[in-house]
Amino acid sequence: MPLLLVVLLAAPAPAALPAEGGGSREGIERRREAIAREIIAIGAQIRREIEGHDVAGLLARVPQEGLRCADRVVPRERVARDLLDERSWVHGVLFGGPGYGPPPGTAASLAALFRSAREVALAVSFEPDPRAGPDGRPCLAFRSRESGTPGSPLCFERRQDRWWLVESLYPCG
C-alpha cells in the first residue's frame, strides 16, 4: 500500500469578519482544522472502500435525497445504479471501467491511482457555500505527484453530527 500523506488546504477566512469571538479568523481556522481532521479520517475510509470495491460503504455516505449536481439533484437510486454499472462515469472514475475516459496524465480511476502512486495525499479545501456558514463546505481530493487525479473533489455537509457526501461524484460543470 502506498504511503499516505495528509495535506490540509484552507481558503482564507472572509476578510469582513470581526477580529474576536466565535466568528473570528482564529475561531474559523480552529474549526476548519478540526473539520479537516474529520474529513481526512473519512477520506482514509473512502480510500479503503474504493480499494475494496465497497459500493455499499460508499452509498452509505449519500443522503436519501441524493447528490447535488450544479442546479439539479442526482437521486440516490441513480447513484446506487451508477456505482454498480461498470459502464457509468461514476463507476469508471472510482473503480475503473469504460464509462470514464481520463485526460492525458490522469490515472484511469481512483482505484488505479491508489494502486500505482508511491504517495497519495488527502487534501481538504473549504469552498464558499451559504449553507455551510463562514467555515465553508469541506471538500476532499486525493492527489499524487505521479498522476493527475480522476474525477472531482468529494464535498461534504454535516447533518445530525454526521458527514454526508453531498456533491461532486458527477461531472456537473
Let me know if residue 173 belongs to a domain.
no
Question: The domain spanning residue 99 has which CATH number?
Answer: 3.10.450
pTM for this prediction: 0.84
Cα–Cα distance, 168 to 70 (Å, whole number): 9
Note the pLDDT tens digit of each residue in 109-135.
999 999 999 999 999 999 988 888 888
Note the pLDDT tens digit of each residue in 151-164.
889 999 999 889 99
b/e for 105-143, b at 16 or more Cβ within 10 A? ebbbbbbbbbeebeebbbbbbbeebeebebbbbbbbbbb
For residue 100, how many C-alpha atoms fall within 13 Å in the half-sphere facing its CB? 30
Question: Amino acid identity, residue 42?
Answer: I
Let me know if residue 172 belongs to a domain.
no
Let me know if residue 117 belongs to a domain.
yes
Cα–Cα distance, 88 to 151 (Å, whole number): 13
Let me know if residue 94 belongs to a domain.
yes
- Contact call for residues 156 and 136 (beta carbons, < 8 A): no
Cα–Cα distance, 148 to 146 (Å, whole number): 7
DSSP state of 58: H
Round the CA-based radius of gyration of the chain to a whole number and report it.
16
Question: Amino acid identity, residue 6?
Answer: V
Note the pLDDT tens digit of each residue in 22-81.
568 888 899 999 999 999 999 999 999 999 999 999 999 999 999 998 889 999 999 999
Q: How many domains does the chain have?
A: 1
